Structure 1
Amino acid sequence: MQIKKDSYLVTDPAGVWVIRITIPPYMKHLFGGKSYFIRSTGTVDIRKARLFRDRIAVEFNNLREQLRPKPQGSRIDQILGELRGISNYTKDAPPTQYSPLAQVQACPSLLSMRDIYILQFSEKRKLTTLSKTNKAVEVLLEYLKKRDIQLRDINRTTVTGWLDKLKTEKALQTIQNYISALAQIWDLARNRYHDAPQDNPWRGHGLEAKSSKVSYEVFTHAELAKVFAAMEGDEEMQNVTLIGMYSGMRLNEICSLRSSNIKEIEGVLCFEVTEGKTKSAARIIPVHSMIKALVLSLREKPYNGFLFYRASIIDRADGKRSTWHSQRFTRAKRKALGEQGTERKVFHSLRHALAQILDRGGVGRGKLKPVPEDRIALLLGHERGKTESFKTYSKHAASPVELQKYIELVSYEITE
């Protein structure tokens, strides 16, 4: 059996290669209902991992072929058999009176409602949002020690008990995400089904998650130089960091970049962010002259279309490609600056640093006028004001040439 070069192989956060094979529906009962067969190869050497993978994959595929359901007859024979079976049933079954109420479905279970919600909003919600919905349902059922449950069997007392437990384990924002996701499932059920709970037990808990958020702190140039030095030998992480410093992009936006996202617009080389955390995230950002050569070289040698190798091999249900890079940056920061007092200095701090520099009109350039606030918002992918003129008519008001002028105000001592 021929197996493609890196099929079934992914890496864990420590860089160890892991085998992950999708389990078909007809075999899930043999693996405890799991969707994937996952085993660590115990090695970071890709060649050894492939040899390990080959033996496991061959055995798994042999088992899959043995258990694959064998169709009886041709496709048309199967359909005809199904229809004949229904015909025989109707002949023997007693006649029934049609009733409109008989056509009304009962409210489904939690898992079924989750699937209905995801299907209905698959085109309207981001993959990361739908992933949070799925996670919320999983965590709740794990707490209840149930495989599934009817919505009517979950009351406010059940909910508050679960929330009290979560408060000892999770951040308030994470808990709020769970509550929001489950509340929307209940709302959808109430709107669709006559016997769904009319009271939503997920509303009105007042966690005040927004007030619990901790603001990020900006690195000093000296601190950033130490962090950058701690990444010595890790070229990919250094390149990701440089792009973050000179573009202000979110980490996952950088890791999601493909070679097709680097293009010339009106004669200016730009990053094109097509989607992101918010509706305003889609934008263009001129490439700073300090990283232009780097970006062009990355565009010429992509990995399955992506600028960065580690981002190209990550396969998560929520679509995020920045997990490995986030962990590597944190390790470098702790190695360079220690753990105490640096909790609020993270990769996202680079966005805040760029915004601060632009707001001050540059660094080390004397007293210059700050960059207009709406232009900073445009570069960072933030909402540009509340008025209709900004939200609708000014969406593409700034040209790449104008934005390039602002981006070039950004400078750091560690690379100059």
Structure 2
Amino acid sequence: MQIKKDSYLVTDPAGVWVVRITIPPYMKHFFEGKSYFIRSTGTVDIRKARLFRDRIAVEFNNLREQLRPKRPGSRIDQILGELRSIGNYTKDAPPTQLDVPAQVAACPTLLVMRDQYILQFSEKRKLTTLSKTNKAVEVLLEHLKKRDVKLRDINRTTVTGWLDKLKTEKAPQTIQNYISALAQIWDLARNRYHDAPQDNPWRGHGLEAKSSKVSYEVFTHAELAKVFVALDGDEEMQAVTLIGMYSGMRLNEICSLRAENIREIEGVLCFEVTEGKTKSAARIIPVHSLITPLVLSLREKPHNGFLFYRASIIDRADGKRSTWHTNRFTRVKRKALGEKGSERKVFHSLRHEVAQQLDRNQINEDRIALILGHERGKTETFKTYSKHAASPVELQKYIELLSYDISG
């Protein structure tokens, strides 16, 4: 059986390839009514994943053919019988009215449109993005106190009233996420259905969420020393913090690391980030010599493939692995430094510290962007492997410039 190159293969939030095969209706009762047969390949290597997929797909297709309902008679008898039944029906049927237009499907409700949107973009959007879409619909219906609603029943007045209420409860960026998600559902409906609202009530509100983002402050080394004292005994959180200090990685990138993401490239031990918050997030970062023994020990004793136990047991719809670590770091920081004056000092501040240290060492801005996973003009993702980008050997020199005095 010939299988197309990447048929039946999708990736989970950690970049591991997963086999997903649609289960036909006549087989669903064998699979507890499920719509998909899903199994993890356990690898991020597409070539290994395809071999895994091929064996499963062949067996599944054999089973599908075995269980496929059989009609009596030969193929030609089935076709002739089908045509004869249509002929018998037309004898008693009224003449066809050529001037009556065919019935066109009407625009569905919000929940149905949400499902259509998620289905259509399940391969193109990240799980975190689709999760925000689902949350936006959920919060809107909760506000309206309705289980579902027709799209044409939501007008601009309804939207602005809801937004005014949200401004007292949610951060501007969260509100912007809701608006963006709902606007795309309305756009999809307008493109698909003749009776969908032509005016999108979610466009043109201009919340300027980006300008409201918090500006983080870096920790002093004395403050970091206090945080480490407060983390005494919590080996996982100490390890996560050290990796953040000596790599500049985002917290969720660290928590999403698997054992296979620690590998030697051109003779240099590196973290391999396969995906993240932006397109530029995919990159390699050399492991600092001071944390090399720690990283190697974590690789030797993974938890269900992940470097960190708490990350391995998180099960969120948006695929985030860093929820526990975010809350834990915040609590410890407040205990060590107090709440007043430390509001803008968070785990993400470690990333700012790395950028600041590299900048003070006069490292080229383009190289800093490579290490931190920032956009590099028109450079394509993962050009770390390109002959035009920095090699791991070069990046290692910059990483080794990072230093902290937290002994006191």
TM-score using structure 1 length: 0.74
CA distance in 1, matches of 2:301, 2:293: 13
Name the SS of the counterpart of 2:133 in structure 1: helix
- Total equivalences in the alignment: 329
1:78–1:107 CA distance, 2 compared to 1 (3 A): farther
Match of 2:132 in 1: 132
Give the C-alpha shift of residue 99 in structure 1.
Answer: 7.6
C-alpha distance in 2 between matches for 1:229 and 1:100: 79
CA deviations 1:308-338 (Å, max 9, x no partner) are: 0000000000000000000000000000011
Superposed displacement of residue 215, structure 1: 0.6
Corresponding residue SS for 1:293: helix
SS in 1 for 2:69: helix
The residue aligned with 2:190 is: 190
Given the alignment of the two structures, is residue 343 of structure 1 paired with residue 343 of structure 2, yes or no? yes
Q: Assess, with a 3 A threshold, how the Cα gap between structure 1 residues 189 and 221 changes in structure 2: closer, same or farther.
A: same
Matching residue of 1:239: 239
Name the structure 2 match of 1:356: 356
1:401 aligns with 2:393: yes
Q: Shift in Å at residue 405 of structure 1?
A: 0.3
For 1:365-404, list aligned pairs within 5 A. Answer: 370-385=362-377, 388=378, 390-391=379-380, 396=386, 397-404=389-396
Say if 1:399 and 1:101 are closer, same or farther in 2 by CA, change over 3 A: farther
State the partner residue of 2:301: 301
Task: State the superposition RMSD in angstroms.
Answer: 2.6
Aligned-partner residue type, residue 76 of structure 1: P
Q: Distance in 2 between matches of 1:101 and 1:398?
A: 63
Q: By how many angstroms is 1:104 displaced?
A: 2.8
Q: Does 1:334 align with 2:326?
A: no
Q: Which runs of structure 2 are paired with 1:151-162 in the superposition (5 Å)?
A: 151-162=151-162
- How much has 1:76 moved relative to structure 2? 3.4
Contact 2:283 2:382 in 1 (8 A): no
Q: Which residue does 2:69 correspond to in 1?
A: 76
1:101 Cα offset (Å) = 4.5
Secondary structure at the aligned position of 2:102 is classed as helix
Unpaired runs of at least 5, structure 2: 1-27, 30-66, 73-80
Mapping for residues 33-72 of structure 1, pairs under 5 Å = none
Deviation by residue 1:258-311 (Cα, 9 ceiling, x = unmatched): 000000000000000000000000000000001000000000000000000000
The separation in 1 between residues aligned to 2:325 and 2:99, in whole angstroms, is 59
Deviation at 1:133, TM superposition (A): 0.5
Cα distance 1:230–1:171, how it changes in 2: closer, same or farther (>3 A)? same
Flag the 1:375–1:94 CA change in 2: closer, same or farther, 3 A.
same
CA 1:76 to 1:373, structure 2 compared with 1: closer, same or farther past 3 Å? same
State the SS of the aligned residue for 1:159: helix
- Deviations, residues 159-179 of structure 1 (Å, cap 9, x unaligned): 011001101100011000000
Q: Structure 2 CA distance, aligned partners of 1:375 and 1:98?
A: 68
CA distance in 2, matches of 1:152, 1:167: 24
- Cα distance in 1 for residues equivalent to 2:275 and 2:122: 15
Deviation at 1:394, TM superposition (A): 6.1
Q: Distance in 2 between matches of 1:399 and 1:129?
A: 32
2:244 aligned partner, one-letter code: G
The 5 A counterparts of 1:186-225 are 186-225=186-225
Q: What is the DSSP-based 3-state SS (H/G/I as helix, E as strand, rest coil) of the residue aligned with 1:414?
A: coil
Q: Distance in 2 between matches of 1:102 and 1:109?
A: 22
State, as a whole percentage, how many aligned pairs show the same letter.
Answer: 81
Q: Does 1:288 align with 2:281?
A: no
Which letter maps to 1:383? E
Q: In the aligned structure 2, how far is the partner of 1:194 from the partner of 1:160?
A: 26
Report the Cα offset of residue 122 of structure 1: 1.1
**C-alpha contact (below 8 Å) 2:173/2:210 kept by paired residues:** yes
Equivalent position SS for 1:413: coil
Structure 1 residue 105 displacement after superposition: 1.8
**Aligned residue identity for 1:332:** V
Match of 1:76, SS state, is coil
- 1:312 — aligned with what? 312
Q: In structure 2, the residue corresponding to 1:285 is in which secondary structure?
A: strand
Offset from partner CA, 1:30-57 (integer Å, 9 cap, x none):
xxxxxxxxxxxxxxxxxxxxxxxxxxxx
Cα separation, partners in 2 of 1:101 and 1:209, compared to 1, 3 Å: farther
3-state SS of 2:176 partner: helix
Go from structure 1 to structure 2 and tell me whether the alpha carbon gap of 1:287 and 1:392 turns closer, same or farther (over 3 Å shift).
Answer: closer
> What is the rounded CA distance, in whole Å, between the counterparts of 1:138 and 1:102 in structure 2?
35
Query: Aligned partners of 2:102 and 2:127: how far apart in 1?
Result: 36
Q: Which amino acid in the other structure matches residue 384 of structure 1?
A: R
CA distance in 2: counterparts of 1:400 and 1:341, whole angstroms: 38
Other-structure match for 1:270: 270
2:132 and 2:177 in contact (8 A); partners too: yes
1:33 is matched with none
Q: Which amino acid aligns with 1:281?
A: A
Deviation sequence 1:57-95 (CA, Å, 0-9, x none): xxxxxxxxxxxxxxxxx973899xxx99xx79x959954
Alpha-carbon deviation of 1:108?
Answer: 1.3
Task: Determine the C-alpha separation between the residues in 1 that align with 2:303 and 2:186.
Answer: 42
- Does the residue aligned with 2:269 lie in a helix, a strand or coil? strand
Partner Cα separation in structure 2 for residue 99 and residue 144 of structure 1: 42
Instruction: Work out whether residues 279 and 381 of structure 2, in 8 Å CA contact, stay in contact via their aligned partners in 1.
Output: no
Distance change (3 Å), C-alpha of 1:210 and 1:254: same
Partner Cα separation in structure 1 for residue 241 and residue 100 of structure 2: 62
1:329–1:392: structure 2 CA closer, same or farther, 3 Å change rule? closer
